[in-house]
Structure 1
Amino acid sequence: MRKLITATLLGSVLASTPALAETINLKVIGQPLATGLIQKNKEQPFFENLAENTGLPIKVNYKPLDTTGIKDVEQLRVLKSGLFDLISLRMSQVSRDEPTILGLDLVGLNPNFEQGRKVVAAYKDTVDQRLQERFNTKLLGVWPFGPQVLFCNHPINSLEDVKGLKVRVYDQNLAQFVESVGGVPVPVAFGDVHQSLALGMIECAITGPSSANSAGWPEVTTHMLPLGFQLALNGYGINLKAWNKLDEQQQQTLQAAFDELNEEIWRYSEELFLDASRCNVGEQPCDTGKSFNLVEVPVNEADLATVANTVTQVSYPTWAEQCDKSNAQCSANWKRDLADIVGL
């Protein structure tokens, strides 16, 4: 009887004791090391300290994209397969698998950070819904590298001077724009651009000033045209199987952490854009990058008008036709979300 009572009491105590939370392992792919300071100073520290800062029962294994052997265009397929649980998505590159995503950053849509914030706020839920349906992926936020500008190793005085030049692009929408102004679009992975410029395989390339500075593009170019074509939006996607391992409170905690990170990167990205733009042309202060001596090509009114008109004349029509083929409601949803912001 004594043994029976003892066993009963012990069972009651164990039943009333909360079970220790099972550790959830998160395999994470980050931005490429080559992209520079956002990856180094914001993203990687966030993931390395995520468990400690949130108190969540998670263990993060973080790897920059260019250390994995995985290509950026494969990111959504990798997430869907469950090979990795969470990925820092390079939006333009993965839009080849899901054109709906490219509606976030059509050429001419986001000429500055302020407009970009409005577009993301209005359209990200539509992108999230599509990613959940097709790729079993939840979108945890969207952030920018900043305005994407033109670097050339060939003298230019305006956008007109890219006629006949081979220009590195990173998505189909940008390729169509380059064609519309007479250039020859050439898709080149970011890590291969420096060598391609040095060897003369391309004459120009498009990226943000900070990424270009970190990757040494000013070593192999001579001119920079600071005309913003896109905002180079990126985002964080988590496989729904990994997301659903968390209870509702844990999900809210994780989402709040990503909301804070995304907001921090928006601010930091703008600081980097301004500083790196100065660094690339040898101006001061230059606090975040290496000083170079590129020729800064003045942006004229005609070039500004060309980019501004691109949304209605080139980027939206060509994208809408392609996107509707894979997602019948694509362009209708885009108009519903963004027509007032864009001014259609």
Structure 2
Amino acid sequence: MKHIWIATAFAAASGQPCLAQTTVQWQLATGYRAESFHTQNIERMAADLARASAGRLRIEVKPNNVLVKLADIRQAVQDGKVQAGETIMTSMVKEIPIAGADAVPFVVGSYADARRMWTLQRPLIDQHFAARGLQALYAVPWPPQGLYTDTPVRTAADFRGARMRTYNQTTERIAELLGATPVDVPMVEVNQALATGRITSMITSAVTGVENQVWGRAKYYYEINAWFPKNIVFVNRKAFEALAPDLQQMLLAAGQEAETRGWAMSQAAAAEATNELRSRGLQVGRVSPDFEADLKRMGEKFSLEWVRSVGNEANRIFVPYYVDSKR
């Protein structure tokens, strides 16, 4: 683990001898753009930490894959090549299957549900991270995944004959369960695919829809809140333990504050993007109660399949989650 130590000196006005103050300089790798609210939240955490520690701990944020590629960040932090990092939790499922709980479709339906899910998921993530020499700081969700269509949707039957954009096994399975034809389309080709009728529906967030300016092609946006994928920020445990105890506490406190702020930023981004879609002419709303019930049944099916694939550890999340949901 390479640290950058910066010695600074200062003298008191009384003429006392200079005292040495050591600054620990870390780097944090993320694969997301500097403009992303996730990256902005990390930057604020770093600024808060530098201020609280009087400059003794500084974190330089390296966005947009410039330091480490997104898919490699967890391993790079684990190996000590970089002190801290951020990645989307679903990128860790091969090594840590329990990290995929927040991406099981139609289980959580609101930010409050997503928070309950994270409360149950966090202790298990902490255990897996500890075994790999990592220390989690916080996690923040992306805005929820919504449904875009070119015609109104009232029931699941309306998807028969539709062409749904897919990009992984989960979205392919959703299309098949709805009776739609799955069409693999990368996001950069979505506008063209919508304009030509290659796809007639897709599931993605309001934020992504705004970024890709889907108005004029997609006509309806349904807030189905299919899932709330989360990004997680974490550090190398040896680097963490090498910090002075007060710096450790400052870092953990800054992480807790960043989590609270980040969830609020995510909700704000979702609301702003949804309003933008509405202002651009899309019909925005919820699906019918009957279709919503269909989606919940799909969520139960997906969660059972996920529990079978992950094993007993998954029950430590979903059993209490569903029990609490029915209270």
Same fold (TM over 0.5): yes
**Residue of structure 2 in register with 1:319 after alignment:** 306
8 Å CA contact 1:168–1:187 kept in 2: the answer is yes
Q: Distance in 2 between matches of 1:54 and 1:277?
A: 39
Deviations 1:59-93 (A, max 9, x none): 323122355572x4443233323333222221233
**Residue of structure 1 in register with 2:188 after alignment:** 194
| Runs of 4+ residues deviating >6 angstroms | none
**Residue of structure 1 in register with 2:282 after alignment:** 294
SS in 2 for 1:110: coil
Cα RMSD over matched residues?
3.2
| Greater shift in the superposed pair: 220-229 or 331-340 | 331-340
8 Å CA contact 2:222–2:287 kept in 1: the answer is yes
**Alignment length (residue pairs):** 306
Q: Distance in 1 between matches of 2:39 and 2:56?
A: 24
SS in 1 for 2:221: strand
Q: Distance in 1 between matches of 2:283 and 2:67?
A: 36
1:179 to 176, 180, 205: 176
1:250 to 241, 247, 250: 247
Tell me, yes or no, if structure 1 residue 59 matches structure 2 residue 58: yes
Q: More helix by proportion, 1 or 2?
A: 1
8 Å CA contact 2:30–2:68 kept in 1: the answer is no
Residues 336 and 62 of structure 1, relative CA distance in 2, 3 Å threshold? same
**Residue of structure 2 in register with 1:6 after alignment:** none
Q: Distance in 1 between matches of 2:108 and 2:244?
A: 36
Tell me the amino acid that sits aligned with residue 121 of structure 1: T
Tell me the amino acid that sits aligned with residue 309 of structure 2: Q
Q: Distance in 2 between matches of 1:263 and 1:64?
A: 21
Q: Distance in 1 between matches of 2:263 and 2:324?
A: 19
Please report how far the alpha carbon of residue 49 of structure 1 lies from its aligned counterpart in structure 2 after TM superposition: 5.4
Tell me the amino acid that sits aligned with residue 38 of structure 1: F
Q: Distance in 2 between matches of 1:95 and 1:272?
A: 26
Residue pairs, 1:151-170, within 5 angstroms: 151-152=148-149, 154-158=150-154, 160=156, 161-163=158-160, 164-169=162-167
Please report how far the alpha carbon of residue 322 of structure 1 lies from its aligned counterpart in structure 2 after TM superposition: 1.9
Residues 216 and 49 of structure 1, relative CA distance in 2, 3 Å threshold? farther
Deviations 1:144-191 (A, max 9, x none): 223210224x43424634445232346x54543343223455677xxx
Residue pairs, 1:19-30, within 5 angstroms: 20-29=21-30
SS in 2 for 1:20: strand
**Residue of structure 1 in register with 2:323 after alignment:** 340
Q: Distance in 1 between matches of 2:308 and 2:261?
A: 35
Tell me the amino acid that sits aligned with residue 155 of structure 1: T
Please report how far the alpha carbon of residue 21 of structure 1 lies from its aligned counterpart in structure 2 after TM superposition: 2.7
Residue pairs, 1:64-75, within 5 angstroms: 64-67=63-66, 70=69, 72-75=70-73
Q: Distance in 1 between matches of 2:123 and 2:51?
A: 29
Q: Distance in 2 between matches of 1:82 and 1:187?
A: 37
Please report how far the alpha carbon of residue 340 of structure 1 lies from its aligned counterpart in structure 2 after TM superposition: 2.6
Q: Distance in 2 between matches of 1:185 and 1:75?
A: 31
Q: Distance in 1 between matches of 2:49 and 2:286?
A: 43
Q: Distance in 2 between matches of 1:300 and 1:93?
A: 33
Residues 27 and 208 of structure 1, relative CA distance in 2, 3 Å threshold? same
Q: More strand by proportion, 1 or 2?
A: 2
Deviations 1:182-219 (A, max 9, x none): 3455677xxx5133442466554333213432343446
Q: Distance in 2 between matches of 1:136 and 1:40?
A: 24
5+ unaligned residues in a row in structure 1: which ranges?
A: 1-16, 283-291
5+ unaligned residues in a row in structure 2: which ranges?
A: 1-17
SS in 2 for 1:21: strand
Deviations 1:267-298 (A, max 9, x none): 2222232232121021xxxxxxxxx2223365
**Residue of structure 2 in register with 1:38 after alignment:** 37
8 Å CA contact 1:107–1:230 kept in 2: the answer is yes
Please report how far the alpha carbon of residue 53 of structure 1 lies from its aligned counterpart in structure 2 after TM superposition: 4.2
Please report how far the alpha carbon of residue 111 of structure 1 lies from its aligned counterpart in structure 2 after TM superposition: 0.2
Q: Distance in 2 between matches of 1:316 and 1:60?
A: 38
Residues 218 and 234 of structure 1, relative CA distance in 2, 3 Å threshold? farther
**Residue of structure 2 in register with 1:139 after alignment:** 136
Q: Distance in 2 between matches of 1:316 and 1:203?
A: 27
8 Å CA contact 1:89–1:234 kept in 2: the answer is yes
Q: Distance in 1 between matches of 2:314 and 2:251?
A: 32
Tell me the amino acid that sits aligned with residue 138 of structure 1: Q
2:106 to 91, 105, 108: 108
8 Å CA contact 1:169–1:187 kept in 2: the answer is yes
Tell me, yes or no, if structure 1 residue 210 matches structure 2 residue 207: yes
**Residue of structure 2 in register with 1:271 after alignment:** 268
Q: Distance in 2 between matches of 1:122 and 1:173?
A: 22
Please report how far the alpha carbon of residue 259 of structure 1 lies from its aligned counterpart in structure 2 after TM superposition: 0.7
